[in-house]
């Protein structure tokens, strides 16, 4: 079984291959979160189908659906935290305020292949 990717101490990001990826808003109601995850998975299947069909219009529409679901989950768009901290989504952990925490992980890239964002 693949280990879960590490999560920053503040719970805002998970780390995959050394890069920070914003997590879903923990303040979402479980029913809302599950609905958006279901929409995200359906949109990702549509991206795969559009690619297989070599259909650029369907690909654009499917990717827009992926983006909308990720925004609704809080993984993209405005940040869900309220303390004014910058959004470090997609930054290398070693180049952020999380660098010391990340360097202390054993091994630093634990969970590197465990998830995709």
Global pTM value:
0.83
What's the confidence (pLDDT) of residue 16?
A: 94
Residues 11-21 have a mean pLDDT of: 96
Residues 89-117 have a mean pLDDT of: 77
**Tens digits of per-residue pLDDT, 27-58?**
999 999 999 999 999 999 999 999 999 999 99
Residues 14-35 have a mean pLDDT of: 96
What's the confidence (pLDDT) of residue 107?
A: 67
Residues 5-26 have a mean pLDDT of: 96
What's the confidence (pLDDT) of residue 51?
A: 97
Distance from the Cα of residue 10 to its chain's centroid:
15
Residues 101-108 have a mean pLDDT of: 83
Q: Judging by beta carbons within 10 Å of its beta carbon (0-12, 13-18, 19+), is residue 114 exposed, middle or buried?
A: middle
Q: Judging by beta carbons within 10 Å of its beta carbon (0-12, 13-18, 19+), is residue 34 exposed, middle or buried?
A: exposed
What's the confidence (pLDDT) of residue 100?
A: 95
């Amino acid at each position: 079984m693949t280990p879960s990717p590490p999560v920053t101490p503040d719970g805002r990001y998970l780390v995959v291959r050394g890069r920070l990826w914003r997590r879903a808003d923990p303040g979402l109601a479980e029913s809302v979160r599950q609905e958006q995850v279901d929409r995200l998975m359906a949109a990702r299947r549509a991206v795969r189908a559009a690619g297989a069909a070599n259909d650029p219009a369907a690909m654009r529409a499917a990717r827009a659906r992926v983006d909308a679901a990720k925004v609704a989950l809080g993984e993209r768009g405005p940040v869900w935290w309220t303390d004014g901290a910058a959004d470090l989504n997609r930054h290398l952990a070693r180049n952020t305020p999380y660098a010391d925490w990340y360097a202390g992980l054993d091994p630093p890239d634990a969970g590197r292949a465990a998830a995709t964002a």
